[in-house]
A and B are shown apart, each in its own frame.
Chain A
Amino acid sequence: MKGKAWKFGDDVDTDIIIPGRYLVLRDEKELAACVMEGCDPEFSKKVKKGDIIVAGKNFGCGSSREHAPIAIKGAGISAVVAESFARIFYRNSINIGLPLIEVKEISQHISEGDIVDINIDEGILKDLNSNEEFEIKPLPDFMLGIMEEGGLINFLKNHLEEIKDG
């Protein structure tokens, strides 16, 4: 994955990602049109397919609304890189196949607009502007399995009987 970085701060909450008044919507594209409206109403117009969000700690804190990762994915964001993620947002994102990349102190090192190259298999994130490389915290095996099968729905389709019996 390679894309342009959009920078956000610490504690980006789910109301910033997708405000409550839009939760009546379910369509990915409609949700994407309002993504990050809580802090930048123009964000959905500026973002391009493949771009990457880079943020500080506790990204996605707050609500369990799956509308949040759906809106981010729908806007074409290929991955969210942050120093840490809130728990429910983390699960929801992996479940819908939105890659989350955890890297220590990353927001101090990447500038807005930098081109970021992420290699999940090698566990390396590279800033192509500064040529700095960073180590990615690996996903637990179980979650990696869900990610690799394209999200939890596909995973369930493939493993329904074992899960039911197990």
Chain B
Amino acid sequence: MAMTMAEKILAKASGNNESEAGEIIMANIDVAMTHDLTGPLSVESFEKIGLKQVWDPEKIVIVFDHQVPADSIDAANNHMLMRKFVKEQGINNFYDVREGVCHQVLPEKGHVVPGEVVVGTDSHTCTHGALGAFATGIGSTDMAMVFATGKLWFKVPETIKFEITGKLQENVFAKDVVLDIIGKIGADGATYKACEFGGETTRNMSISDRMVLCNMAIEMGGKTGLVEPDQKTINYLRGRSTKHYEIMKTDSDAKSLETMFVDVNELEPQIACPHNVDNVKPVSEVEGTHIDQVFLGSCTNGRLSDLRTAARIMKGKEVSKDIRMLVIPASREVYTKAMDEGLLRTFVDSGALVCNPCCGPCLGGHIGLVGPGEVSLSTSNRNFKGRQGSPDAEVYLSSAAVAAASAITGTITDPR
């Protein structure tokens, strides 16, 4: 039977030769990730089941990234609870405050490989589909089931494949492509679907750029993001993962496959305006809008390529006196490479604050919050009301290039 990549992965995970969109299957989980913010509820739920031991401590990965270092006694308590769980359960794949954002750390440390099922108590777990895994965000009670049994039920999703073609103009990036798509299909345009990104433009993209596309799948309601693995994927995994893996690809005649063609030749830099991710406009339409803070970072755009792009635009220039800028590398690996390449020096010289790898203002519960009436321009993935602090603040979402150009002028600026 012709199947999509999502159907093939879920068939294998449930011990079947075939699976079909709409079917409910029980999948064996290969990687179960939780973090400092949603982890405590997962542990509490697991304890309610009454079991002493998790199914397989080697398949659990725990990352502290949302509130690191702890900014309150409540956060410190949550960290303590999770450290105790790690110790009791003998979980070796534990990354305490020092490593960075889970969706960067898991691929970097080789936990994600093609053809596997990855679940995480974080909605942006879909990012990992950039390596060809079926990766999806779940809640804490679902995670308790995984901790207890190593299994989770899924409704096999239909697939919407974005066939992306064309050459991106200078200073136009994967973020602009995915914002453009979300603007067109809406915040619920792909609800319950696997969002597969293909076409020559995707194939020409780096793994980092593919992670940007997959990261934002949830912002159109998608169950997962996916990119067909290729030589770039294999090269990325070399030296990172020793796991055996199987590459699966979508059959073009799969029944549950719907294709949307996206031509990016003429695409301008895009921006999501308050307060919904699908409120997308070309940056040129909102140029000159006042901003108070720029945040460069997050699981969407806190990678080395983003920092390089921003540093190229900011080198020798100063962040506008009227605003502040936060630069938060997505991981320790990104941070040290940025240090070696002199990028952090460029940011500090320009007046930006460089913070430790973490989620930063993106969750609106740690550092760098914005006050009532203030405007944040952010390279992250959500601009909901109150997302970065005050419910009376506004958040715009863009690429690293738009963020960097705007930090210099102090208003929203087209980097071209």
By a beta-carbon cutoff of 8 Å, the part of chain A in contact with chain B is 11, 13-16, 19-26, 37-39, 57-58, 61-67, 70, 84, 86-88, 91-92, 95-96, 140, 142, 151-153, 156-157, 160, 163-164, 166
Whether the pair B155, A38 counts as a contact (CB closer than 8 A) is: no
> Which of B49, B67, B192, B365 is in CB contact (< 8 Å) with A153?
B49
Say yes or no for B144: interface residue by CB 8 A criterion. Answer: yes
Q: Which chain B residue has the least Cβ–Cβ distance from A87?
A: B192
Whether the pair B191, A86 counts as a contact (CB closer than 8 A) is: yes
List the B side residues contacting A19 at CB < 8 Å.
364-365, 386, 391
> Which of A24, A70, A140, A160 is in CB contact (< 8 Å) with B49?
A160
List the A side residues contacting B187 at CB < 8 Å.
11, 58, 61
Whether the pair B24, A142 counts as a contact (CB closer than 8 A) is: yes
Q: Which chain B residue has the least Cβ–Cβ distance from A22?
A: B365
Whether the pair B188, A152 counts as a contact (CB closer than 8 A) is: no
Write the B380-395 contact mask toward A (1 if CB under 8 angstroms, else 0): 0010111101010000
Return B27 CB to nearest CB of chain A, in Å. 12
List the B side residues contacting A88 at CB < 8 Å.
123, 137-139
Say yes or no for B141: interface residue by CB 8 A criterion. Answer: yes
Per the bound structure, the CA–CA distance linking A23 and B120 in Å amounts to 17
Return B70 CB to nearest CB of chain A, in Å. 9
Per the bound structure, the CA–CA distance linking A95 and B153 in Å amounts to 12
> Which of B137, B140, B387 is in CB contact (< 8 Å) with A20?
B387
Write the B52-81 contact mask toward A (1 if CB under 8 angstroms, else 0): 000000000000001100001011001000
Per the bound structure, the CA–CA distance linking A73 and B284 in Å amounts to 44
Q: Kindly identify, within residues 203 to 258 of chain B, every residue whose CB is under 8 Å from any CB belonging to chain A.
A: 218, 221, 223
Return B85 CB to nearest CB of chain A, in Å. 14
Per the bound structure, the CA–CA distance linking A120 and B385 in Å amounts to 33
Per the bound structure, the CA–CA distance linking A151 and B151 in Å amounts to 17
> Which of A58, A87, A96 is in CB contact (< 8 Å) with B141?
A96
Say yes or no for B316: interface residue by CB 8 A criterion. Answer: no
Q: Could you give 18 example pairs across A and B, Cβ below 8 Å?
A: A13-B384, A15-B364, A15-B384, A15-B387, A19-B364, A20-B364, A23-B37, A24-B37, A24-B67, A24-B74, A25-B74, A64-B121, A66-B41, A66-B140, A84-B191, A86-B188, A92-B141, A96-B141
Whether the pair B363, A23 counts as a contact (CB closer than 8 A) is: yes
List the B side residues contacting A37 at CB < 8 Å.
386, 391
Other A-B pairs beyond A15-B384, A38-B384, A62-B384, 14, CB < 8 Å:
A13-B382, A13-B385, A15-B387, A24-B72, A61-B187, A61-B221, A64-B120, A66-B41, A84-B188, A88-B123, A88-B138, A142-B24, A152-B145, A163-B26
List the B side residues contacting A58 at CB < 8 Å.
187-188, 191, 221
Per the bound structure, the CA–CA distance linking A153 and B41 in Å amounts to 13
List the A side residues contacting B49 at CB < 8 Å.
153, 156-157, 160
Give the top 8 A-B pairs by smallest Cβ distance, nearest first: A92-B139, A24-B74, A20-B364, A20-B365, A95-B141, A58-B188, A20-B363, A15-B384
Per the bound structure, the CA–CA distance linking A14 and B139 in Å amounts to 12
Return B4 CB to nearest CB of chain A, in Å. 17
Return B81 CB to nearest CB of chain A, in Å. 9
Return B226 CB to nearest CB of chain A, in Å. 16
Say yes or no for B414: interface residue by CB 8 A criterion. Answer: no
List the A side residues contacting B121 at CB < 8 Å.
64, 66
> Which of A25, A151, A163 is in CB contact (< 8 Å) with B149?
A163
Per the bound structure, the CA–CA distance linking A24 and B363 in Å amounts to 12
Whether the pair A64, B137 counts as a contact (CB closer than 8 A) is: yes
Whether the pair B123, A63 counts as a contact (CB closer than 8 A) is: yes
Q: Which chain A residue has the least Cβ–Cβ distance from B191?
A: A87
In the complex with contacts A58-B187, A96-B141, A64-B386 CB distance below 8 A: no
List the B side residues contacting A70 at CB < 8 Å.
41
Whether the pair A24, B141 counts as a contact (CB closer than 8 A) is: no
Say yes or no for B171: interface residue by CB 8 A criterion. Answer: no
List the B side residues contacting A20 at CB < 8 Å.
363-365, 386-387
Per the bound structure, the CA–CA distance linking A60 and B291 in Å amounts to 28
Whether the pair B45, A87 counts as a contact (CB closer than 8 A) is: no
